[in-house]
Structures are given as structure tokens and as C-alpha cells.
Structure 1
Amino acid sequence: MNENETKQPETQDLREETAEAAPEVAEHDALGSLREQLAEAQQQTLYARAEVQNIRRRAEKDVSDARAYASTNFARDILSVADNLGRALQAIPADLREDDKMKGLVAGLEATGRELDSVLGRHGITKIAAMGETLDPNRHQAMLEMPSDAAPGTIVQEMQSGYMIKDRLLRPALVAVAKKPD
């Protein structure tokens, strides 16, 4: 036999083996492809669930914020009423406060002021402490600097009270801040 005759049967055997293995390889490739698709689908499902959960949390926070801060604009408007009432009480001279005819009026105005403060407090609106505090630009608005013996940056005068609604600034306190005397 020559060399070509011996190679032909070997080549024929190899072709037969390859033909038998081809369905197994194709089946293996299809299974691998399906596994990849399944893994991708599972990953997309996880992302979708996480996104839905994030949207739900955001919506709950938005609803909570809407409830907590819905009265913000109304509260700002009422603060001007509280300011005017406070100025009216401060404008009453001491001798009129002692006058029998005015005592009832003064007492009524003071009671109204206390009730207004109480109502604001029940709705989470609190007055910002200012006098003697160090200037906090997140809560106070410095309107001017005044020479003072107090430490520089200390609030020495409050021109208008500031208020918080829950943990948010409703209105900054308008203040004068101490500076070193010249």
C-alpha cells in the first residue's frame, strides 16, 4: 500500500468522529447560549426590581415631604402677622400697660401672641435662637456689623426673628453682628 491509501481511511474515520461530535458541540453551544440569556434576564429582573424599589422610596419621601412642608407658604404669610402683633405689643408704652382701660386690651394682645406661637409650634414651626449666638449663615442673615465688646461674629441685635419648619429654614433671622471696636 502506498501512503495515500493509508491516509484515506484515517481521514474517513476523522470525518465520522467529527460528524458524530458536531451535534454534541451544537447542543453544548445552544445550552451555553441559553444559560447566558437566562443570566442576562435574571440581571435585568434584578435591575428592574431595584428601580421599582427606588421609585417607591422616592414617592414615599415626596409624599412625606409634601405633608410636612405643605404649609410653608401659608406659614411665611402668617409670620408677617406674628411680626406685626409683636411690634404692636412692643409699641405699647409702660404707662398704658398699667392703665385700667388698656390692661384688658394688652392682656388680650399678649394672649393672642402666645396662642399664635403655640399654633406655630404645633405645626413644627419654631423660632430660631439668635441673640448671643455665633452667626450661622444657614439660619441667620447678617444685615450689619456693629462695634461691640462681644466676640466678633456674635449676634448682638435681632431685627427680625427667623423660623424653621421642621428641619428646613422657613425664614432667616435678620441680625446685626459684633465687630471689633475701632
Structure 2
Amino acid sequence: MIEDNKQAADEAVAKELEGVPADMIDPDATGAEDAEEKDDLSTALEALKSDLDAAKQEVLYARAESQNVRRRAEKDVADARAYAATGFARDILSVYDNLVRAIEAIPAELHDDPRLKGLVTGVEATQREVEKVFGSHGISRIAAHGLLLDPNQHQAMLEIPTEEHEPGTVVQEMQSGWMIRDRLLRPAMVGVAKKP
């Protein structure tokens, strides 16, 4: 009877321990298998760690690349906004030059003639308006007369022998030069002093 009870108890314990890993029941029972399994697990863990490090590196590179692309795109958009009017401005400069020539061609006595006063005033007002529009779009005239020749802004068309000015000084401006913000729109065409 005691043996029956012991057998029943062993069967009940065995039933309860079903599904429980063997190393939890008897840690010494699976020693060799555990060592092999632990080696396999540590190898797999090392492989996973190296894969994780590689994935982190790739994510960092991808993030840096996308940030560079975004910055480049933002710069391109800013440049497009700032310099969008470049082609139009370059074309309208010849119209402005003709306005200036028209005003300079009007003789002084005709400025006060009542029949032409409205025309002269209108042309001068148009010139001022064009200059105002240029200013609002960042288009400015390049200073030239009396300055040393700057090859980045001035284009020397001729040399004028003179003792009044230092050689290399701009003494005549044939066509005005213009900048759009910090970029050259059109160089000033100038005459430069040289020693006689």
C-alpha cells in the first residue's frame, strides 16, 4: 500500500512536471547539453550584436545622408527664391539704360518748356520707379568711378592715359554694372587710367 501510494505520488509529480525543462528539475542532469547550448547561444548572441551594430551604422549613415539632402534642397529653394528674377533683371537692364540715355539726351532748355515738361517728368518718374523696383528685389548698381579696377565687378574696355589718377583707377564708366544680392548681374564697362 505504501508502495502504491509512492507510485501514485511519483505519477502525480511526473504529471505536474510535464512540459517543465529538464534543467529546472535536475540542473546536473543536462550539464553537457547545457554547455553546448550555452556556446551556441553565445555565438548566436555575438552574431546578433554584430548585426545590430551594423544596422545602427547603416541607420546613422542613412540619417546623415537624408539630412544632407534636405539641407541641399533647402539651399536650392532659398537660392531659387533669391535669384529667380536674374534672367528678367538682366533683360530689363537694357530698358533702364535706354531710359537713362533718353533723360540725358534732353537738352536743359527743354526741361522747362511747358509743352514737354509732362513728358520729361514722366520719363524721370519711370526711371525712379524702375530703381525702386530694383532695390526691392535686391538689385543694386556697382560703384565704379574713382575706384580701383575690380575684375570681379568691372570690365576694362580701354585705357586712358592720365596723370590725374593712379594707374588702374576707373576714370570713365561706359555702361553701369549691377549686382543681384551678392551675385554679379552685369559687370560695369569702364575706362581705366594708365601712365601717359
Q: Which amino acid aligns with 2:69?
A: I
Query: Which is helix-richer, 1 or 2?
Result: 1
Match of 1:138 among 152, 156, 165: 152
Q: How many residues align?
A: 165
Identity fraction in percent: 63
Superposed CA RMSD in Å reads 1.8
TM-score, length of structure 2 as denominator length: 0.78
Question: Paired residue for 1:121?
Answer: 135
Indicate which of 167, 172, 192 corresponds to 1:152: 167
Alpha-carbon distance in structure 2 between the residues aligned to 1:140 and 1:42: 54
Provide Cα deviations, 1:128-155, integer angstroms capped at 9, x if missing partner: 1111111111111111111122111111
Counterpart-to-counterpart distance in 2, 1:98 and 1:153: 40
1:180 matched to 2:174: no
What is the distance in 1 between the residues matched to 2:106 and 2:75? Answer: 46
- 1:167 aligns to 2:182 (yes or no): yes
The letter for the 2-side match of 1:68 is A
Matches within 5 A, 1:4-153: 21-148=35-162, 149-153=164-168
Residue identity opposite 1:173 in structure 2: A
Give 1 or 2 for the bigger CA radius of gyration.
2
Q: 1:45 & 1:109 partners in 2: Cα distance?
A: 63
Task: Name structure 1 gaps, 5 residues minimum.
Answer: 1-16
Displacement of 1:52? 0.7
SS of residue matched to 2:116: helix
Q: Which amino acid aligns with 1:46?
A: L
Code of the residue aligned with 2:136 in structure 1: it is R
Letter in 2 for 1:105: L
Q: Secondary structure at the match of 2:151?
A: coil
For structure 2, the residue ranges without an aligned partner over 5 or more in a row are 1-30
Once residues 169 and 67 of structure 2 are traced to their aligned partners in structure 1, the CA distance between those partners, rounded to angstroms, is 47
Q: Distance in 2 between matches of 1:29 and 1:146?
A: 85
The offset of 1:95, in angstroms, is 2.1
